Structure 1
Amino acid sequence: MNGYERRMNIIEYLQNSDKAVSGKDLASLYRVSRQVIVQDIALLRAKDYDIVSTNHGYILNETKKVTRVFKVKHSDEKTQEELECIVDYGGIIEDVFIYHRRYGIVRAKMNIRSRNDIIHFLEDLKSGKSTYLKNVTSDYHYHTVSAPTETILDLIEKQLEEKGFIAQLQDYEPEDIKKSS
């Protein structure tokens, strides 16, 4: 495990802990010295993670959120599976948007965090006369996904790729569409 991976794991560990975690415990867990952990914490703080040192150990005050845009394509029947790939790995589906050659970016907020949110979303669509936004662009669409770490976003991307959901950007799409929020 390299330093970056260790620091991302430290963040995830602190986020999942319901109490302060000592530098000694982190050092033992990651098989490094306590001084390495102190340096890791300093680097994480420099990246705007709000880590507080107490006399009982480290606490992560606020969850830092990173985002990534995924371009995906699938049928209506695969919508639930696609969304579950994201939330099951700890991602939050912030929105869905399409890029239309004539209308540009058309976006809708989603804020889907759990399988329960997915069920409500799907039920809402079934109960009305609306259809999926992706149907305007032959099933191609984008999701802005947030997560506590880049590692989680990498896992989500890998899962989406394995399921065949990831789609490639086309020449006519703006280069910065993946940064669009």
Structure 2
Amino acid sequence: MKQMREKRQPADGRRKSILSQLKEAADPIKGNDLAEEMQVSRQIIVQDISLLKAEGQPIIATSQGYLLLKKAQSHTITRIVACNHTVSQTADELTRIVNCGVTVLNVTVEHPLYGEITRSLMIRNQSDVRKFVKNLEKTGASLLSSLTDGVHLHELEADTAENLELAVQALKQAGYLL
């Protein structure tokens, strides 16, 4: 146990290291991976992330891991769409969107008790869709939209208005748009 402690970084150094890794990462980093690398528990990483967020770092937790939000490029366009579909149609919905070159930034539902609940998704491509669906199946977790009978919002982001319009039309064609 003493040897493990000697290898650990001090807390402030660990948080600097986490932030540095998130700045360099193109994809989300799992908390378990950070914990293993830093030789601390997953809970310590959760606390470190919370402290970094409290300092104003734009870190989000996605289903694939932690991600540092980069400053939005001025040429990206966002749009919110209202959707409704079954759990079994989730992969199709996400695939239709990313196939148009559009990123699914998040999902939002309007809960009768808690109000608006938004969670980050950051699904950019087919690989992200597969990971999300695999994680859904593996965990047996419910989608947020299960709280609202399938009704939910997605914030979409694209480089062009044309790509966003293609995604909207693909969702409309499938009958997913409200």
> TM-score band (shorter)?
0.5 to 0.7
Q: Which amino acid aligns with 1:88?
A: N
TM-score, normalised via structure 1 length: 0.56
1:112 and 1:118 in contact (8 A); partners too: yes
Aligned partner of residue 64 in structure 1, secondary structure: coil
Counterpart CA distance in 2 for 1:63 and 1:92 is 16
Query: Is the CA contact (8 Å cut-off) linking 1:63 and 1:148 kept in structure 2?
Result: no
Residues in 1 aligned to 2:171 and 2:136: alpha-carbon distance in whole angstroms: 23
Task: Look up the match of 1:103.
Answer: 114
For 1:71, the equivalent position in structure 2 comes to: 82
Correspondence 1:88 to 2:99: yes
In structure 1, how many angstroms separate the alpha carbons of the residues matched to 2:166 and 2:124?
16
Which blocks of at least 5 consecutive residues in structure 1 are unaligned? 1-61, 168-181
1-structure distance, mates of 2:99, 2:74:
18
Please identify runs of 4+ aligned residues in structure 1 that moved more than 3 A. Answer: none
Task: Give the count of matched residue pairs.
Answer: 106
Query: Take 2:157 and 2:163, find their aligned partners in 1: how far apart are those partners?
Result: 9
Identify which of 150, 160, 170 aligns with 1:159: 170
**Cα RMSD between the aligned structures?**
1.2
Instruction: Name the aligned partner's letter for residue 134 of structure 2.
Output: E
Distance 1:90 1:148 in 2: 8
User: 1:114 and 1:105 mapped to 2: Cα distance?
Assistant: 26
TM normalised by structure 2 equals 0.57
- Aligned partners of 2:90, 2:74: CA distance in 1, in Å? 28
- Post-superposition offset of 1:67: 0.4
Q: Which has the larger radius of gyration?
A: 1
Instruction: Report 1:27-66 matches (<5 A).
Output: 64-66=75-77
Counterpart code for 2:78: T
Consecutive unaligned residues in structure 2, runs of 5 or more? 1-72
Percentage of identical aligned residues: 26
Give the whole-Å Cα distance in 2 for the aligned partners of 1:148 and 1:154.
Answer: 11
1:127 is displaced (CA, Å) by 1.3
Corresponding residue for 1:140? 151
Give the deviation of 1:102 after TM superposition. 2.5
Q: Does 1:131 align with 2:131?
A: no
Letter in 2 for 1:141: H
